[in-house]
Amino acid sequence: MTYPETSNSEAPFELPRLGSVPREARLRRSRVFLFAFVLLLGAGLAGGIAYGGRSEYLWMLALAQEGATTDATLVAKERRGGKSKRYEFDFTYMVEGRAYRGSGDVEREIYDELEIGTSLLLTYLPADPWHCQLGRVDDSMARKRRNELWIIGGIIGGGLLLVALLMGKHFRSRVLLLRRGSVREARVTEVKDVKKAQVAVRYEFRDGEGIERRGRTLLPAKDRGIAVGDPLAVLHDPHAPKRFEVVERVLCVAELSRLSGRS
């Protein structure tokens, strides 16, 4: 395949209509916005987990230290969820002559073993009998629940941190490409409709050292008129040879040079 000679001169070449190229300033604003969003989302999730976890831990601790036990009667059994099923018991119990009703999750083996009408051991708070837990509650159960919530919080926090780092890496690579990238002219080698709103385009070009590079990009549906053999403008980073991207609008070489800071 023959590739046209390209340089950073001011002679433009004709290109098909493509969308708009993100400028460096816009990328920086987007990065700040997305980082702020991730931080706010993380703070909200962390706060919610901390509040809910602390409340549940204190509730379990109160049951362990102040709870009383009584017998409850199993009145209903229910399976919930899809592939990850939950097994739930509904039960009734009496405290000082008043009837209460509660529910709680159990293991599948217990769910399958016990029948309606079975007597269940229950721990409740005398000051507020609605707060109860199947079985006997001790300090170790409260600490176990607290540790579980810490693990969940750590996983969510770690996931958000990973997202933030990946976003930072992505935006940094885009900014460096706009700063250092040199424009190359590529040729379309394949066009394929993938979605109603997008078309997949494969292309080839040679970098500044004459090495053949191949890439793939998705373009808006309005560019369905693009055909094999059409030219595409590609920004290629000579400092990171595998970093390149199709320019998403009609730009001449001189304008691309100004974008890259070489005007």
Distance (Å, whole) CA 86 – CA 262: 62
Record the tokens describing residue 188, joined without a space. 């379309």
Task: Indicate the SS3 state at residue 101.
Answer: strand
pTM for the complete prediction?
A: 0.44
Distance (Å, whole) CA 58 – CA 134: 17
Distance (Å, whole) CA 60 – CA 66: 10
Q: Which residues pair with 68 in a beta bridge?
A: 124
pLDDT in tens, the chain (263 residues): 444 444 443 333 343 333 344 445 555 566 666 667 766 776 666 666 666 666 777 888 888 888 899 999 999 999 887 666 889 999 999 999 999 999 988 888 999 999 999 999 999 999 999 989 898 888 887 777 777 777 777 777 777 778 777 777 777 777 777 777 788 888 889 988 877 777 888 999 998 888 999 988 887 766 667 788 888 888 888 888 888 888 753 333 334 444 444 43
Q: Where are the domains of the chain?
A: 44-154
Task: Indicate the SS3 state at residue 99.
Answer: strand
Q: Nearest 5 degrees, angle CA 190-CA 196-CA 202?
A: 15
Domain spanning 44-154, CATH class:
mainly beta
